[in-house]
Amino acid sequence: MEQIGKRMTKQKKVILDILRHTRSHPTADWIYAQARKVLPDISLGTVYRNLGVLRDAGEIMELNYGSTYSRYDGNPENHYHFVCLHCGRIVDLDMPLHKDLEREAEACGGGRILYHRLEFYGICPECNDQKEH
């Protein structure tokens, strides 16, 4: 069995499973609600603790895009996001990484760069359509 952290508990397994099977970028609260459908007694504290463990293990990513709360991404590979300013939706972009930006930034006063994050903000097609009707 896949080993993440010191013990693979059913709680940790369920949380990871939820994150790996959604394309949305859910909040801790949403993950908690989903997890309770499988484990009705799971607590929000456990969800937060396991999200921290999974993040530290590099299995998931924590995103803070201008909100007071975090969102989590089950895809730990670096990739870019589109954030809709109208509905708040976060969408993965199928766009190649630009590692060359890191070399450029190092030359422009950054230190030793390990990774970068890139997000695009705008209006998603769905919200754009709504406005027109």
Query: Interface with DNA by CB under 7 A: which residues?
Result: 1, 3, 5-12, 27-29, 39, 41-46, 48-50, 52-53, 68-70
Q: Choosing among DNA, its own copies, none, which partner's interface includes residue 133 (Cβ < 5 to 8 Å by kind)?
A: none
- Find how far residue 123's CA is from the centre of its chain: 20
Asked whether the beta carbons of 65 and 48 are under 8 A apart, the reply is no
**Contact between 8 and its own copies (CB under 8 A)?**
no
Q: For its own copies, give the closer residue by CB, 45 or 115.
A: 115
**Contact between 113 and its own copies (CB under 8 A)?**
yes
Asked whether the beta carbons of 5 and 53 are under 8 A apart, the reply is yes
Cα(95)–Cα(108) distance, rounded to whole angstroms?
24
